[in-house]
Structure 1
């Protein structure tokens, strides 16, 4: 019957494929043309059926290519020159100047780790389970290389899951009714002002917003503020919040006729609601994740680090679900989208590292288990969705260097440092000692603090980036000195990685002291320069506490060390710069700093007493004089109001400390317990406002106070957490 009446056979309806744009962005398509996502992004919606089918690769051919790929890797590992097959680009040739490293487009990693950059046309060996199912059960007439084939089952399963489970985040943040957010937006003139402040003060240090495209979208949004899509609205409120964060309270009052806490609270609430409306916990929208990242960053000066760290972990998990941690996944998108995903991943990763340090923990996200390369050293104007290959001028190699640094120089340098350090042995020793056996043992064992890897990293950064910067440019100035500060921290923390049972030589003590002084000198340069005024909101995020700890411990051990005068001078200068931002009227902070500072100074006075030498009052360091003065004023105020709580934590029970006598300060030099640090940090930090809670619980506390790295873990790349001093 079927042969007599072929037309009566039931015909299989042709499956409608996802559009090309949704396939490239790895998002669910509603399979209508134009689809919803392309309509929102105002891009051309091209049906996938218009793509000509490619020849199906036979299994035998694939097996042969896999074997060739394996042989090529073996040749590369043994540094044997050969002509590679296909489009895969592999860089294994070491730099002529930095022999311990492998250099790639925008990144640097230790030579011990093989670095492979897959082109978008080459698929990695490991695929999803759904791809394996499709490969096993596909028919000969199906195109195995079609980008939609392996996503077919994925779409079905995801759609089924979405229909089963309700999009409800009330279990975590509490149920919130949808509210009209349009009244929370500032007027158009203030929107443009906030946008410009964001571009001047915030975006150069984060670069998670593509300026040319976002500016067009903001202009369009202002024309119809009542019809904004939730992700875009969340992103706008996040931009408002970060712009306000970057200002001083006086600037907020003069420009926007409102206090900084009030404006910040208003825009953070708007961002909260817009994120809820976006379903951000399950969203695949990069704008939504960017808004969430900026929203979390807006709490760095008023949050409790442990709670903030937990919230940042949610953002990291969302980014991992979106495959921002996979270079292969980023390469599947167009050039602009792929690059913005790389920038967002590195911004999230480094933020997570720092917040985890402030919380006294260790982040496992900053381990060499992700493949996303560092961002390109390029201007936003060179990035365009139509560009399929990176501009030649943005590829940094030892042979081709930029004539001038770009507007991305700050994030590029920080990402390169992070990419390098997360592969080093001294980083893993502090954060993941279980991975140390995987690190190759160097042929020559150097003494602590003489890490050749850090030396090569410093040479690379200085020659490739810092030497090209203009010190009179605010962003370049910030890049130069923060990089040098972080390198000094890195060297200092490397010293403490050595075997604690072994003793240091005097030369090693001397070198470590130089690194600590260098760290404070760099911080003094950053804090004192008027060029860094737009970026002071970021500088408050990094307090050089490890340098204080090391110098004060060293000066207590060796009061007459050759570096003693320089150490006291640089600490006095730095303490004065941080006084109004961090230390003012914070009793617990003075308790800690007072015991450390006066204990070290008491050791020197004790030596002078034994030698029968008289101390010149003019030689008393400024930091000692300041702490004594504030303690004396506090005692006078407390006595005036009849308080029983004194300042004996400084004097050791003797009032003679205020007059400069030695007897009182001897008690102040008692070694402090690490529990003191934990107690006063936990007591001073405000609880982080989760969605729906009051964001300003104690406006009298200075925002910068929360950023002290009191756990002595201030190695900004995850080195040295929970060090026992």
Structure 2
């Protein structure tokens, strides 16, 4: 086994806590599955016999390298490739942990493919393939004793399985499952000591780097799961497992897999400028670090503080947060994006995504919810509203760009699942306000109207690119509220000629957008009179 997937910390890992996620506590096996009556585990030989054919394994691995690995950089691909060769040669000879990693790799590869690609490779539709490999990956994880394991390979498999679950989520129940899986991954990372830098000081440089890569992906996934659960459960959702002070791990080096060798005696020099295999992950880690620094500067004054003092504190806090965002933007633009080649699809996607994340950071700084209790009842002035409106539109424009480029399709299975909810709400609230304000004014400025029309195009495209906004609205109170806000803002538009939306392909005033029609039908079907 390669060093990066074999290390178990030589017994240093502490025991995992016993409060296992509910998802794993109540596993219901299919009637036709054979479980060992003594161990309660799925029969190892039967499990390993369910691996795809050797040819399918190699093709799924190649899909993983192209579509998944650049987005997560969870391990050292050249080392894991030998693991894949071992599985393809004789799946019954590999360990349970290695088998679980193999099934998780297949599952993520399937998640990134189109329906036609799945049909050609597996002979099944994408939906059937996802269900099939999700079940097998789930069984392999359970069989590898992921509830009590202290094995890095198991954590790698669990992290990939959780990423695939993030792709498949759509309802609050999926969000709860995602939170349970991410919580178990966080527990296992802590049991392995991945969250403490001093636990790694005596390890070889290669092992250190693999541990750091894995920890940061677990950390980011933990935050993603908490955010996804908040979308479904609101204030009742649990927060992320890792908080500041509970970990102190260095970020992984910005180097390519080819610069790392398991036998190396010292780490390679970090590439400070220009793209590497870690390009997107390095930027995502920069954003994650900045988000946590912003939270450190978010301290609201006491209710007993004089209003003037409270306002001054919040102003200073905002200045500090703006400085954090500007420093992050400078590092990303000048060091990581400067040498990117727009002719390379992944580089262009990374540039779009990085700038979207940066705009979302700025939006979070200026968002009204950043104000403390001393500012209750404060209404943003016109300048503040326009700044928020502009930032939110930029976020939506990058979201539109990412989804509209066919060269990015192979990465959308994960990148495309991030829904810019705050930006959508800010734009809709401003469109509602502008619609109400413009109803009695026959001389609406044409330039402002063009801005409104462009904002509506962003919103309509977001609904097309993120069908979950409508499909999951019945189960998700936030999505339902966004839908009602969208209808209200749309209906507030004036019908005067100066406010007609020019479009080369669609007359939005003659033919209502499909998303608006679907939202209307959904509201009618949900009303008491229709039941």
Whether TM exceeds 0.5 here: the answer is yes
**1:276 CA drift (Å):** 2.5
Q: Specify the SS of the correspondent of 1:287.
A: helix
**1:22 CA drift (Å):** 13
User: 2:108 corresponds to which residue?
Assistant: 242
**1:318 CA drift (Å):** 0.8
Gaps of at least 5 residues in structure 2 are 17-22, 29-39, 231-236, 301-311, 439-444
Mapped to 2, the partners of 1:582 and 1:487 lie a distance apart of: 25
**1:261 CA drift (Å):** 2.2
Q: 1:449 to 1:529 in 2, by over 3 A?
A: farther
Q: Does the CA-based 8 Å contact 1:551-1:567 persist in structure 2? A: no
**1:490 CA drift (Å):** 1.2
User: 2:258 corresponds to which residue?
Assistant: 381
**1:344 CA drift (Å):** 0.8
Q: Specify the SS of the correspondent of 1:376.
A: coil
**1:309 CA drift (Å):** 0.4
Q: Specify the SS of the correspondent of 1:467.
A: coil
**1:634 CA drift (Å):** 9.2
Q: Specify the SS of the correspondent of 2:341.
A: coil
Match of 2:194 among 324, 332, 338: 324
User: 1:309 corresponds to which residue?
Assistant: 179
User: 2:64 corresponds to which residue?
Assistant: 198
Match of 1:208 among 68, 74, 84: 74
Match of 1:646 among 524, 527, 530: 524
Q: Specify the SS of the correspondent of 2:379.
A: coil
Deviation per residue, 1:556-596 (Å, 9 max, x gap): 22335965532432442452364265169738479645532
User: 1:34 corresponds to which residue?
Assistant: none
Deviation per residue, 1:679-702 (Å, 9 max, x gap): xxxxxxxxxxxxxxxxxxxxxxxx
Q: Does the CA-based 8 Å contact 2:293-2:324 persist in structure 1? A: no
Deviation per residue, 1:444-466 (Å, 9 max, x gap): 82767971211121111100111
Q: Does the CA-based 8 Å contact 2:99-2:140 persist in structure 1? A: yes
Deviation per residue, 1:168-210 (Å, 9 max, x gap): x985546444251233111111100000000000010001121
Q: 1:530 to 1:447 in 2, by over 3 A?
A: same
Q: 1:347 to 1:583 in 2, by over 3 A?
A: closer
Deviation per residue, 1:350-381 (Å, 9 max, x gap): 11111211111331414353111111100111
Spell out the pairing of 1:246-257 with structure 2 (5 A cutoff). Answer: 246-257=112-123
**1:524 CA drift (Å):** 1.4
Mapped to 1, the partners of 2:299 and 2:509 lie a distance apart of: 36
Match of 1:183 among 49, 72, 78: 49
Gaps of at least 5 residues in structure 1 are 1-19, 29-150, 162-168, 431-440, 639-644, 654-725
Q: What is the aligned length? A: 467
Q: Specify the SS of the correspondent of 1:373.
A: coil
Match of 1:597 among 483, 486, 489: 486
User: 1:527 corresponds to which residue?
Assistant: 403
Q: 1:410 to 1:171 in 2, by over 3 A?
A: closer
Q: 1:230 to 1:567 in 2, by over 3 A?
A: farther
Q: Does the CA-based 8 Å contact 2:61-2:109 persist in structure 1? A: yes
Q: 1:413 to 1:366 in 2, by over 3 A?
A: farther
Q: Specify the SS of the correspondent of 2:224.
A: helix
Q: 1:279 to 1:601 in 2, by over 3 A?
A: closer
Deviation per residue, 1:290-309 (Å, 9 max, x gap): 00111121112333102320
1:354 aligns with 2:220: no
Mapped to 1, the partners of 2:84 and 2:517 lie a distance apart of: 54
Q: Does the CA-based 8 Å contact 1:352-1:363 persist in structure 2? A: yes
Q: Does the CA-based 8 Å contact 1:349-1:366 persist in structure 2? A: no
TM-score by length of 2: 0.78
Deviation per residue, 1:614-644 (Å, 9 max, x gap): 55645599777775656668989x9xxxxxx
Match of 2:336 among 453, 458, 465: 465
Mapped to 2, the partners of 1:624 and 1:307 lie a distance apart of: 42
1:579 aligns with 2:468: no
Spell out the pairing of 1:552-563 with structure 2 (5 A cutoff). Answer: 552-559=428-435, 560=438, 563=448
Q: Specify the SS of the correspondent of 1:423.
A: helix
Q: Does the CA-based 8 Å contact 1:235-1:288 persist in structure 2? A: yes
Q: 1:629 to 1:172 in 2, by over 3 A?
A: closer
Mapped to 2, the partners of 1:21 and 1:596 lie a distance apart of: 49
Match of 1:498 among 371, 377, 380: 371
Mapped to 2, the partners of 1:527 and 1:519 lie a distance apart of: 13
Mapped to 1, the partners of 2:337 and 2:454 lie a distance apart of: 27
**1:289 CA drift (Å):** 0.7
Q: Does the CA-based 8 Å contact 1:245-1:537 persist in structure 2? A: yes
**1:423 CA drift (Å):** 2.2
Which of 1 and 2 has greater Rg? 1
Spell out the pairing of 1:260-409 with structure 2 (5 A cutoff). Answer: 260-303=126-169, 304-360=174-230, 361=237, 362-392=239-269, 394=270, 401-402=272-273, 404-409=274-279
Mapped to 1, the partners of 2:250 and 2:329 lie a distance apart of: 20
Q: Specify the SS of the correspondent of 2:343.
A: coil
